[in-house]
Structure 1
Amino acid sequence: MMFLIALAVLVVILFITFFFLRTQKDMPKNWEEFVIEFKMQAGGTQALIEDTFLRYKNKVDLVQKPNKIAIMTGGNRGIGVHTLEKLLKCSMTVMLGVRSPEASKKSIEKALGTELTKDKVFYEKCDTGDMKSVRDFAKKVQEKYSAIHLLINNAGVMFTPFNITADGFESQMAINHMGHFLLTHLLMPQLIAGSNDNDGKNVRIVNVSSCVHKRCVINYDDFDCKKFYYPADAYNKSKLAQVLFTKHLQVLLSQNGLKMQTNSLHPGVVDTDLFANSSTDYIPWFRTIMFKTPEEGSRTIIYASISPKLEGKGGLYLSNCTIMPPNDVANNPQECKKLFDYCCKLLKIENFGNLN
């Protein structure tokens, strides 16, 4: 057994070394970076195995939701386009928060056709890495809809170079988590209103995370990564933040007796352009053979969004349309509340969604 473990470790080390040497990506410069990269590759390998063995569970039935309103960040490419397509096939109206509304409209109509999207998809500018843009988008939603029934926090980036946003946040944390945290706060009145006309069903908030959230911890002494930055580490932490946020938000929703639920999820290891900054870019056929397609990646998002099997079940972490265990820290209510309160402080939110 020890021999097999040692062999597996050696294979991962050789894998890391090979791809970094054969690409333009920077090799880990020290032991800390190497450990992060090792954990990342090991986690990805485990996720690929899970995707293979749980493929038979990665299925979702589309349920009709006429006259229901969904808000989604991103959605103009990759997994998002297929998520949008499924929402439309469920007869939902969808407003997308995207960086380039006109370009997104053209690409989505080209991909899905105007027959499916006409008068059912609306586009507004939203850069989740810019808190002013998030506030402007929330205002647009509020002006158009008095009630919404589904919020999918989907937009994201991965493995990007170090950058501090205008709001002072590390960019991956800002785009993947902080913007969605703020958006959920701002849209809470509309979500609560939606819970009153949702046919007795829970309004849902869906946070798109990743399996790599299990491979890190939140460092509050260097939350914006100014002391230490490694792209994979920052990405992992932003995805852990989404899971912890989900856990504590569900506590607040339940304490307030609201007909609402929130879940986080890993869509799978999916062949999208998010991997443009990863070592797998060297051999694209590897992704084609081993990774999920964007359509397959959209299924767990839709499962979290509409599946009757999840009705009344919140605070969960899902993968392959299956409830899975999250990072151990997510099962610690104090740790979840700690991050929640910390984000409220950074964003100057005194009473999140008027729920506290």
Structure 2
Amino acid sequence: MSGNWTEQDIPDQHGRVAIVTGANTGLGFETARMLAARGAAVVLAVRDTEKGKRAAARITGDAATQGDVTVQALDLTSLDSVRTAAADLRATHPRIDLLINNAGVMYTPKQTTADGFELQFGTNHLGHFALTGLLLDRLLPVPGSRVVTVSSVGHRIRAAIHFDDLQWERSYSRIGAYGQSKLANLLFTYELQRRIAPHGTTVALAAHPGASNTELTRNTPAALRVPVTWLAPLLTQNAGMGALPTLRAATDHAAEGGQYYGPGGPGEFRGHPKLVRSSPDSHDRATQQRLWTVSEELTGVTFPVR
């Protein structure tokens, strides 16, 4: 393997089934594209299926693509949609090798999901929590299967799990709500790994893309927009590079459950993927377990592991 882990280091993926949420654009698209290039059968799980079909056509039109690419409707802001998507995926895929929880929203104005959850927490955490729980029994029997959830450097910024006001009904901070959702991604990953470890087949990992130049930043608050625009050429990287930590977590034979990958450059903003550390708050077991219990209650999804 080269000193810097690159797309060329992704192992052969023939015979593997990968589900990638939010795969019609940005990081998810690049993740799906590179997995398909290595032979995986990739499902683009997306809210807008027309955009998903166009993304699938772009991937299959690439001469490098070796795997099949299909599209599945999935709206993470609706638990009904999550349940329908999970039922469809279970019907068409008796085994799943990779579930990549990539889709997300960032810094959105105050909004709620169809189920009344704050949009960022509902989409980034609860939607993926429910989807994972509903599909996990398709992964558990599969040797080498993995659940990879995409977090963010934002899990350190004004980030806490506000159990007394998870839905930000009393006051709202778009940055704080994003930080809560991304911290939740890590708390979920570490608790999931602890629960599935006795099964010995599936592992859970997390990754973050650093500062990647994607559509995710379109809701950046006005006060931050100018400095972000000026600093972008110095701090950000393209979506292909931003997807590499996720791909390393998903495919590197040396990766282990409970690990967290991100860019290796200064501040973890850009660079080739390496093992990184998450915040001390993300490793608090009591918070992990409490969030798990609350998430089961809010979504009505109980996992087939304890």
> Common fold, TM-score beyond 0.5?
yes
- The alignment partner of 1:163 has SS state of coil
1:101-250 to 2 correspondences below 5 Å = 101-110=49-58, 113=61, 115=63, 120-193=68-141, 195=142, 198=143, 202-215=144-157, 216-250=159-193
Partner of 1:89: 37
Letter in 2 for 1:235: Y
- The alignment partner of 2:140 has SS state of helix
* Residue 295 (structure 1) aligned to one of 222, 230, 240: 240
Partner of 2:254: 309
- Alpha-carbon separation, structure 2, partners of 1:248 and 1:171: 23
- Alpha-carbon separation, structure 1, partners of 2:45 and 2:191: 24
Q: What are the Cα deviations for residues 293-312 of structure 1, in whole angstroms up to 9, with x where unaligned?
A: 111101101000000121xx
- The alignment partner of 1:124 has SS state of strand
- Alpha-carbon separation, structure 2, partners of 1:164 and 1:192: 33
Name the CA shift for 1:211/1:144 in 2 (closer, same or farther; >3 Å): same
Q: Is the 8 A contact 2:37 2:65 kept in 1?
A: no
- Alpha-carbon separation, structure 2, partners of 1:119 and 1:326: 33
Q: Which has the higher contact order (CA 8 A, sep 6+)?
A: 1
- The alignment partner of 1:220 has SS state of coil
1:16-95 to 2 correspondences below 5 Å = 57=4, 59=6, 61-95=9-43
Q: Is the 8 A contact 2:44 2:52 kept in 1?
A: no
Of the structure 1 ranges 112-121 and 125-134, higher mean CA displacement relative to structure 2 is found in 112-121
Partner of 2:202: 260
- Rg: which structure is higher? 1
Q: What are the Cα deviations for residues 279-324 of structure 1, in whole angstroms up to 9, with x where unaligned?
A: 56447464244311111101101000000121xx111222122222
* Percent identical residues: 31
- Alpha-carbon separation, structure 1, partners of 2:55 and 2:192: 34
Indicate yes or no: 2:278 matched with 1:326. yes
Of the structure 1 ranges 325-334 and 223-232, higher mean CA displacement relative to structure 2 is found in 325-334
- Alpha-carbon separation, structure 1, partners of 2:62 and 2:5: 29
Unaligned runs of 5+ in 1: 1-55
Structure (1/2) with the larger helix percentage = 1
- TM-score norm. by structure 2 comes to 0.89
* TM superposition shift of 1:161: 0.8
- Alpha-carbon separation, structure 1, partners of 2:170 and 2:63: 51
Letter in 2 for 1:177: H
Q: Is the 8 A contact 2:186 2:206 kept in 1?
A: yes
* TM superposition shift of 1:111: 6.2
Q: Is the 8 A contact 1:109 1:117 kept in 2?
A: no
- Alpha-carbon separation, structure 2, partners of 1:249 and 1:211: 20
Q: Is the 8 A contact 1:72 1:97 kept in 2?
A: yes
Q: Is the 8 A contact 2:147 2:204 kept in 1?
A: yes
Aligned residues: CA RMSD = 1.9
- Alpha-carbon separation, structure 2, partners of 1:292 and 1:133: 33
* TM superposition shift of 1:73: 0.6
Of the structure 1 ranges 340-349 and 298-307, higher mean CA displacement relative to structure 2 is found in 340-349
* TM superposition shift of 1:57: 4.5
Paired residue total: 290
- Alpha-carbon separation, structure 1, partners of 2:58 and 2:20: 19
Q: Is the 8 A contact 1:88 1:117 kept in 2?
A: yes
Unaligned runs of 5+ in 2: 264-272
* TM superposition shift of 1:331: 2.0
Q: Is the 8 A contact 1:82 1:294 kept in 2?
A: yes
Q: Is the 8 A contact 1:72 1:96 kept in 2?
A: yes
- Alpha-carbon separation, structure 2, partners of 1:170 and 1:334: 23
- The alignment partner of 1:185 has SS state of helix
Partner of 2:267: none
